[in-house]
Chain A
Amino acid sequence: MVAEPPRPDPVALYRTMRLIRRFEERAVELARSGEIGSGVHACIGQEAVAAGVCAALRPDDIILSNHRGHGHLLAKGSEPGRLMAELTGRVTGVSRGRSGSFHPADFGAGVYGASGTVGHGAAIATGIAFALARQGGDRVAVSFFGDGAVNQGAMLESLNLASLWRVPAVFVCENNLYATTLPVRTAVAGSIVARAQAFDIPSSTVDGMDPDAVYDAAAAAVARARAGDGPTFLELLTYRFEGHHTFEYRTQPQYRDQEEIDRWRDRDPVPRQAERIPAQARGLVDEEVEALVEEAVRFALDSPRPDPVDVLDYLYANRIPLRAGVADA
């Protein structure tokens, strides 16, 4: 058995959150300047979720991320430079520049992908959890998704299968109140946790702006999975301070009022955690993170872009002959 991670030191939690925040702020800048061609779904405001959940995981546990996934990778241990290189489409990226910002995977860090179809990663995570349990040991799989995912059929089917087969999975719903522009109150009949409860999955709603509360809930869920007692569902109440995607800087869709945004910003998890640690430690972390993120950006922008000649590489694990789009002369 691998040793359980100790309760995270408040400074370590702050460091993870500060890293995600600064990484994302730089990613937004690079998206707006065109260096990140896809734009990004920034998770600014939701850092406590990634930091708190991943602090409860071991390196050999697996997570399934989603389109708003940079924070998950950083919290799970991906190198910031290789993640930024992925976002900027470089061959040194975690997925060799083939996933961009949308689907980054870093198998070495236990990140088995990020589904672009909302909620469909839950089924994959359920299968991973089943396989982990069958292989012995006590590893767990975590599926991250948003409030939009809870209305997907695949999600509900996955909860049913996970409960029936008691797989060691934790379902983490980051309820940031909006599925793109659709407010959760107009999208979810009943409640989010009641969906999981209907499948006999223990569920709770937790303050997703407090990394300690997130960690406590996640650690209990992970312990339950490791013990063979089956899946747990966590709804983490959180908020994204940025738009759904950086395209909102251009299109300026109006679906949230400023009063709401300000109210959530008052609960910003990063300064909230900063207040829990000594000022000196905060200063050191800020300095270290600043250097780390600058180095990540430099590494990314200095890295080579993929050669279009290799565009069909990696299509198959067992390669097959592929014809070009133009017939040979």
Chain B
Amino acid sequence: MPNMSYTKALNRALGEEMGSDPLVLVLGEDINLALNNVTTGLLDLFGPERVLETPLSEQGFTGFATGAALAGMRPVVEYQIPFLTLLVLEQIYNQANRYSLITGGQARVPVTYLLPATGWRPGWGAQHSDQPYGIFAHTGVKTVLPATPSDAYGLFLSAIRDDDPVVLLAPLPALGLRENVVYAELAPIPLGVGRVHRVGDDVTVVATGHLVHDALAVAEQLTDEVSVEVFDPRTIYPFDWAGLAASLEKTGRLVVFDDTTRFCGLGAEILATAVEQMRLVAPPRRVTRPDSAVVIGCERALDLAVQPSREQLASAIETVAKS
């Protein structure tokens, strides 16, 4: 059985989609040499007309992708560093994502924005270590955050095929993950549908991205004291509220384990919605990054101090389970 890495899953999905749909093209910086390993081999297969190496002009090439999409293509834009998508929030949020609305439905803008290494990048400093999915979800841009290689494959395919702008974030700590797969069984995964990674009865843990794997480890570690269900929304926006409600219907207890900022973060939204609309028998909790998107990025101890940890999650689960 092939052992597929997360990065290879992205590469495979993109290559297959470019092979089957001539309207798909990829553009970005250093993609000819596949510095992020997502575009490996694609230049040889599809040529420079469909693998467009760009100068350092994020505003220009992001707007360019909007135009190419309006004229019928399906561009995939790779961003080497997560914050670069904030430099072009104008192009993604104010232009691409508003096109359908302000044209009264005349326009479709099927662009996928691929961020192939988000979150903590040890040693790369504060300006390279953002985890910006909360910003895109807040602004209503479809946002996916795959946790596993097969989810990365399936969600990437669906993102490219979607007729709206979609941001796909691949968390750096997940890129090295491998999974045994049967290639013929790999399939698109619909946006907006979560996944229960582990069934449990007492507490629902909503975990995102690479934190799914930490949550699974904590659940195993606590297995003698509390039965933990691990729910991965996979798509941040639109969020799978029905999937979460189904889990809480059973457990009635909730902990959110999330790699974004606490203030106005994803965790806040999930807790608020659960409190307003879902079955809860105990006050919910969240384990997040602190207020402000602080990551120092150059000193390991400082970085670990601001990231949600397994210890914090275990403590939160125990508190919620007892209350």
A interface, CB within 8 angstroms of B:
62, 64, 93-99, 103, 105-107, 112-113, 115-117, 120, 122-132, 134-135, 141, 153-154, 157-158, 160-161, 164-165, 313-318, 320-321, 327-328
Contact = CB atoms under 8 A, between A and B. Distances in A.
B62 A123 contact: yes
30 contacts: A99-B103, A103-B102, A105-B106, A106-B106, A113-B102, A113-B103, A117-B95, A120-B90, A123-B63, A123-B64, A124-B63, A124-B66, A127-B63, A127-B67, A128-B67, A130-B68, A131-B71, A131-B72, A134-B49, A141-B71, A154-B59, A154-B60, A157-B57, A160-B55, A161-B60, A161-B61, A161-B64, A164-B55, A317-B109, A317-B164
Max chain B Cβ within 10 angstroms of own Cβ: one of A97, A131, A158, A164:
A131
B196 interface: no
B68 A123 contact: no
B63 A95 contact: no
B67 A130 contact: yes
Contacts of B52: 165
Given A157-B59, A327-B277, A127 B99 contact: no
B63 A113 contact: no
Interface of B: 49, 52, 54-55, 57, 59-73, 75, 90-91, 94-95, 99-110, 140, 142, 162-164, 191-192, 238, 241, 273, 276-277
Contacts of A135: 71-72
A84 to B, nearest CB: 15
A125 B60 contact: no
B280 to A, nearest CB: 14
A165 B68 CA distance: 13
A107 B57 contact: no
A317 B192 CA distance: 15
A321 to B, nearest CB: 6
Contacts of B63: 120, 122-124, 126-127, 154, 158
B64 A127 contact: yes
A128 B106 CA distance: 15
B64 A120 contact: no
A171 to B, nearest CB: 13
Contacts of B64: 123-124, 126-127, 130, 158, 161
B95 A314 contact: no
A292 B85 CA distance: 46
Contacts of A132: 71
Given A112-B67, A127-B66, A131-B71, 13 more contacts: A96-B105, A105-B104, A105-B106, A120-B91, A123-B60, A124-B63, A130-B64, A141-B71, A158-B64, A316-B142, A320-B191, A320-B238, A327-B277
Nearest to B72: A131
Contacts of B54: 161
Contacts, number: 160
B87 to A, nearest CB: 10
B53 to A, nearest CB: 10
A127 B69 contact: yes
A154 B66 CA distance: 13
A99 B104 contact: yes
A293 B60 CA distance: 38
Contacts of A99: 102-104
A327 B277 CA distance: 8
Q: Which of B69, B105, B106, B109 has the most CB of A within 10 A?
A: B106
B174 to A, nearest CB: 25
Q: Nearest 8 CB-CB pairs, A to B?
A: A127-B67, A123-B63, A157-B60, A96-B104, A131-B71, A127-B64, A317-B163, A157-B57
Nearest to B55: A160
A317 B55 contact: no
Nearest to A135: B72
B104 A95 contact: yes
Contacts of A158: 60, 63-64
A105 to B, nearest CB: 4
A107 B69 contact: no
A158 B55 CA distance: 11
B71 A128 contact: yes
Contact of A123 (B59, B103, B106, B191): B59
Contacts of A94: 104
A123 B104 contact: no
B57 A161 contact: yes
Nearest to A132: B71
A57 to B, nearest CB: 15
Contacts of A160: 55, 57, 60
Given A160-B60, A318-B162, A123 B67 contact: yes
Given A115-B95, A321-B238, A105 B107 contact: yes
A4 B146 CA distance: 50
A93 B66 contact: no
B105 A317 contact: yes
A154 B92 CA distance: 13
A146 B73 CA distance: 28
Contacts of A124: 63-64, 66-67, 70, 95
